[in-house]
Amino acid sequence: MAKDSIENAMSQKRPVIDPSLWNQLLEIEKDEKSLSHISLTYSQDVWRRLRSNKGALFGLIIIIALILFALIGPLLTNHSYDDGTLTLSNIPPRYEIYKVNNEYFYLHKNLKLYLTEEDGSIIKMLEKDSEDLFKKQLIYAVGNGNLIIDYSTKNILTLIDENGTTFESYKNVANKTNLLGTDHLGRDLLTRIMYGARVSLLVAVVAALVNFVIGMMYGGIAGYFGGKVDNIMMRIVDIISIIPLTLYVILIMVVLNSGLLSIIIALGSVYWVDMARVVRGQMLSLKEEEFVYAAKTIGTKPLKIITTHLLPNAMGAIIVTLTMLIPSAIFTEAFMSFIGLGVTAPMASWGTLCNEALESIRSFSYQLFFPSIAICITMIAFNLMGDGLRDALDPKLRK
């Protein structure tokens, strides 16, 4: 009887729970009690924890928006990054317009007068008819009369007509022609920021590829073999890391001239050393595990052990380190371009935009504000994403 009951128990199949049922649960039901009944794969569990981290999710959304902004944005504008109109130089994103006889005018800080639409679209810049140097006035012929710009009072511009009537600003409007304004050469600032984002993304891709290809393999080999091989390889890493990146860029510029290529080669030459150190530390701890001894026992070659067994098990730390190094690479490119060692004119980069804005920072601070904000948001997004990945990929933090 006992034997029959045992056989009946063994013959009964345990129910198989479909993992897709997890997606049918309400968010309030996805608690620890529900987790105990449903088995999730490692990737599903990582995504669940990453999605529950609001900071990491916000960073991911910003990174996706940045990619779309850089790749699709320039296709939606009517401007080019290197095409400028000097008559529209230093136009801010918002300005005050004046209403004179059902016509609208914008009075620029540089003593220019523009004819605009009521919604803020600039029609054209008006040519001055004459100038009274004694009274410090510029005279413009408009319609059947004259408009006068009075700049006799320091830092104050006044728009008056020929009868002496002073006009007050009609309203503050947005620049519909150039949404973020223009630079000192009349180039659209929004378009140039978009192209600067392309440069930053290119640097991020290069940093990622270099870290993956060179840093992972170099650190994996050094950590796996250890001994003299490890000592020699890591001393090379120490020598490379003590030389400043700026010096690398200057030396490369002597051969290739300044430009984006010099930055990419410099990053490709030295940016993998931090990843190599992280991977080496992971290899030193993982190579003593039993599955590595089992692989050696059946005759698996060292290179296959590194690529098939060790690196996948260290992928959590590798991805987190990679996510943290990407914003550093973006900031490095921006800094190099800011000091004149990066991309060359007329190519746009966030660093070059900040550099160009320094000349007129007091009068047109928006030219520095927008590219600086773009750099800050990008770095914050990658850092938030890196923190979220660190928590999501760490099995010790699983709840």
- Smallest CA-to-CA distance from 349 within 371, 378, 367, 326 is with 371
φ, ψ dihedrals at 380, nearest 5°: -65, -40
Q: Supply the pLDDT for residue 144.
A: 74
Q: Supply the pLDDT for residue 42.
A: 65
User: Amino acid identity of 269?
Assistant: S
The b/e string for 349-376 (b: 16+ C-beta within 10 A; e otherwise) is bbbbbbbbbeebeeebeebbebbeebbe
Q: Supply the pLDDT for residue 382.
A: 87
Q: Are 230 and 223 in contact (CB under 8 A)?
A: yes
Residues with Cβ < 8 Å from 237, sequence gap 6 or more?
Answer: 218, 273, 276, 277
Q: Supply the pLDDT for residue 369.
A: 93
Which tokens sit at 73? 């944005």
User: How far apart, in Å, are the Cα atoms of 35 and each of 14, 48, 53, 174?
Assistant: 18, 11, 18, 52
Q: Supply the pLDDT for residue 92.
A: 92
Q: What is the pTM of this model?
A: 0.79
Query: Residue 78 carries which DSSP code?
Result: S
- pLDDT tens digit string along 89-119? 899 999 999 888 888 899 888 888 898 988 8
Residue spans of the chain under pLDDT 50: 1-3, 6, 9-11, 13-14, 28
d(CA 181, CA 106): 14
Q: What pairs with residue 141 in β-bridges? A: 146
Q: Supply the pLDDT for residue 273.
A: 87
d(CA 59, CA 41): 24
Q: How many helices (H) and strands (E) does the chain have?
A: 16, 9
Q: Supply the pLDDT for residue 6.
A: 46
DSSP string, 108-133: -TTS-EEEE-TTS-EEEEPPP-EEET
DSSP string, 260-300: HHHHHHHHHHHTTHHHHHHHHHHHHHHTTSHHHHHHHHTT-
Q: Supply the pLDDT for residue 2.
A: 45
User: How far apart, in Å, are the Cα atoms of 97 and each of 23, 167, 170, 251?
Assistant: 55, 10, 6, 51
Q: Supply the pLDDT for residue 17.
A: 53
Q: Supply the pLDDT for residue 153.
A: 82
